Structure 1
Amino acid sequence: MNTLEKLDLKDPRLYRRKACINGKTYGYLYAEPKEGYSRTVFLIHGFPDLSMGWRYQIPFFLGLGHRVICPDCLGYGQSDSPSGSVVPFSLKSQCTDFHGLAVQLGCQNIILGGHDWGSMMASRFALYFPDFVTHLILFVVPLFPPSSTYCSVSDLVKLQPSFGYMLQFGSDDYEIESHTQSEDGIRGFLNALYGGLTTDGRRAISATNGIDFDIVSHLVPSKLLTEEDLQYYVSEYSRTGLRGPCNTYRVLHQNFIDETPFLSNGGDKKVEVNCPTLFVRAMDDFAITSSMVDTMLPYIPHLTIKEVRSSHWIMIQRPQKVNEIVQTWLQEQGINQN
């Protein structure tokens, strides 16, 4: 197995680049082995994360001889954050953009990975562009198959209370944004999301209610982020704020509309991911239940499931274990180190 390595932004193998795709500018991290590569790994982060969320996986994949591309999703980091309509933030819109980026970089196919909302996007990418994804890796969030009926966030929460936080994150009064206007506000929000605790062990976030901002200022620093990591995140989020990232929770109806061809009569799309797929579940994540995992089983015939004792932030909390699981699975798929 590869030795665990944490990526530094000053790593000479790493390039910070930008590309214009469908009228939007995306920032992305780009790295390739000096010896050349035969495959490209494309990694999509979640909320509230950045391309650097893959800081333990980029060196790992480089060590396996793969080129690695990690974009900042729309509204995050160095990517644009369009105002007005939330449609550009839909899963289909961003999948189309990321496909365009991969093609622009010369990819004929990719190994695709995603975490959290990035996992949602990755599974949709595999549905929209099935011939482009040779292997799919989903962290924490399973495939949620397209539905024939729209379920609003409020109705979803009635069915699944562990999604209650979504009401706050995507609220019409922009509650998250109102508390993250300053660097201190952003720092407190991120510290809460990454597991910061009070001295008596309380969290500022719950699955059912979201963030309790009265507690945020009393949290000690999260153990998952170094001060350098946290300052980098604060700096990146200070550029355009949290409106773009929170739009992820405001675009669910557009996602539903985009996916109707999968289910409508005469639709030419099939709700099935046919490529080999690895799902790595974080057993201590507060939102994902076993029934949610079971729901995806009929839709992914070539599925491998692995479980890791970890919180939501599995790639940075248990990076060695995660990388070992991925490397073993890739070897089982016949993808060996160059």
Structure 2
Amino acid sequence: MALDGAWTHGQTVVNDVRLHYVAAGEEDDPLVVLLHGFPEFWYSWREQLPALADAGYRVVAPDMRGYNRSEKPPGVGSYRTAELVGDVVGLIDRFGDSSSARIVGHDWGGLVAWETAIRYPEVVDQLAVLNAPHPAAYRRELRRNSDQWRRSWYAVSFQLPLVPEALLGARDCAGVGRLLRETANPGTFDEDDLRRYREAASRPGALTAALNYYRAALRGNLRREIREWLGFGGRSAVVDAPTLLIWGERDPALVVELTEGLDGWVPDLRVERLPEATHWVQNDRPDDVTERLLAFFGE
């Protein structure tokens, strides 16, 4: 392992994939797993890592499969939800002193966190999700809310082969930096932050792997919709774990209605909305997010 300030870097193999991770805190402390979103990497948790460790937690923030220094298995199928969830379960088994952990996820990491709690409730002690919709609520809003359809155009465009890679990857992933800069509050990401994100996305195969999350998800959702239309029903989407949903209300991609009407799926839920925060909520308002996470975990 290499030491980098308040944390260490390492690599491990779980679920047949090699993942790079950053860890902080004592090995026998309660485990917290931090899952980043698109187009980020472990660095998106740089403010929360030392704070959670100082509060007495063992914190592990992986580069999710395909991102930055983690392995990039080929093919869209390698990024199916089942595989992403399997990575999280493997990390909990690898780093936890028990068979469960607290899970925090943002954006795509939040979607994977939701699905982990739904599919493997026994491994999730507490769940915290930042600007990522519960999957059933997202389908609900797509069906009834034209504004959410309009905001989701980018996910549809990502289904095209090669074109998104060309647009985002040109000039050393300038499009990635532009996406972060133009959708966050002014000053959220400085030039060093943007350089780091561009470098991570520029690693061979990283951009295609990140886009394959969207491609695999759409194919899986279409299959689910067809099964439900044919009358085969669907699996339960209930989350048993105590859950905190933190939501930056200035999110250009997700409507705030996604935070409403969740009781049937998430019985033990607290929603914390941050009116001045954007989609990049733990970067826009790092102290507010950390404070809420610590209060929630301390209950």
Task: Please report the TM-score for the alignment, with normalisation by the length of structure 2.
Answer: 0.86
- Cα separation, partners in 2 of 1:69 and 1:245, compared to 1, 3 Å: same
Q: Where does residue 282 of structure 1 map in the other structure?
A: 248
Verify the 8 A CA contact 1:157 1:164 in the aligned structure 2.
Answer: no
Q: Where does residue 13 of structure 2 map in the other structure?
A: 20
Residue 99 of structure 2 is aligned to residue 99 of structure 1: no
Question: What is the alpha-carbon distance in structure 2 between the residues aligned to residue 271 and residue 163 of structure 1?
Answer: 22
- Report the structure number with the largest CA radius of gyration: 1
Q: Where does residue 251 of structure 1 map in the other structure?
A: 216
Q: CA deviation at 1:175?
A: 1.9
Q: Where does residue 151 of structure 2 map in the other structure?
A: 162
Question: What is the alpha-carbon distance in structure 1 between the residues aligned to residue 292 and residue 30 of structure 2?
Answer: 19
Choose which of 318, 322, 329 in structure 1 pairs with 2:296. 329
Residue 4 of structure 2 is aligned to residue 10 of structure 1: yes
Deviations 1:33-66 (A, max 9, x none): 4xx6431000100001101100011011111100
Q: CA deviation at 1:157?
A: 7.6
Give the match's secondary structure for 1:327.
helix
- Cα separation, partners in 2 of 1:190 and 1:224, compared to 1, 3 Å: farther
Aligned residue type for 1:279: L
Q: Which moved more, 1:157-166 or 1:136-145?
A: 157-166
Choose which of 115, 120, 126 in structure 1 pairs with 2:106. 115
Give the match's secondary structure for 2:220.
helix
- Cα separation, partners in 2 of 1:98 and 1:258, compared to 1, 3 Å: farther
Question: What is the alpha-carbon distance in structure 1 between the residues aligned to residue 146 and residue 175 of structure 2?
Answer: 22
- Map 1:154-303 onto structure 2 (within 5 A): 160-168=149-157, 170-181=158-169, 184-186=171-173, 188-196=174-182, 223-240=187-204, 241-256=206-221, 270-303=236-269
Percent pairwise identity: 23
Q: CA deviation at 1:145?
A: 1.9
Question: What is the alpha-carbon distance in structure 2 between the residues aligned to residue 258 and residue 38 of structure 1?
Answer: 41
Question: What is the alpha-carbon distance in structure 2 between the residues aligned to residue 173 and residue 313 of structure 1?
Answer: 27
- Cα separation, partners in 2 of 1:181 and 1:46, compared to 1, 3 Å: closer
Verify the 8 A CA contact 2:39 2:201 in the aligned structure 1.
Answer: no
Verify the 8 A CA contact 2:259 2:271 in the aligned structure 1.
Answer: no
Give the match's secondary structure for 2:250.
coil
Question: What is the alpha-carbon distance in structure 2 between the residues aligned to residue 225 and residue 132 of structure 1?
Answer: 34
Verify the 8 A CA contact 1:89 1:247 in the aligned structure 2.
Answer: yes
Q: Where does residue 215 of structure 1 map in the other structure?
A: none
Question: What is the alpha-carbon distance in structure 1 between the residues aligned to residue 224 and residue 14 of structure 2?
Answer: 22
Deviations 1:71-119 (A, max 9, x none): 1112101111122x31111122111122112212244210000001111
Deviations 1:2-46 (A, max 9, x none): xxxxxxx721x412111122322111111124xx64310001000
Number of aligned positions between the proteins: 291
Question: What is the alpha-carbon distance in structure 1 between the residues aligned to residue 115 and residue 252 of structure 2?
Answer: 23
Deviations 1:150-175 (A, max 9, x none): x99xx99897211111122x132322
Q: CA deviation at 1:291?
A: 2.6
Gaps of 5+ in 1: 1-8, 197-202, 206-220, 334-338
Gaps of 5+ in 2: none
- Cα RMSD after superposing both structures: 3.1
Give the match's secondary structure for 1:59.
helix
Choose which of 261, 279, 285 in structure 2 pairs with 1:312. 279
Aligned residue type for 1:86: V
Question: What is the alpha-carbon distance in structure 1 between the residues aligned to residue 146 and residue 207 of structure 2?
Answer: 22
Aligned residue type for 2:23: Y
Question: What is the alpha-carbon distance in structure 2 between the residues aligned to residue 128 and residue 177 of structure 1?
Answer: 31
Aligned residue type for 1:109: S
- Cα separation, partners in 2 of 1:63 and 1:71, compared to 1, 3 Å: same
Q: CA deviation at 1:147?
A: 9.4
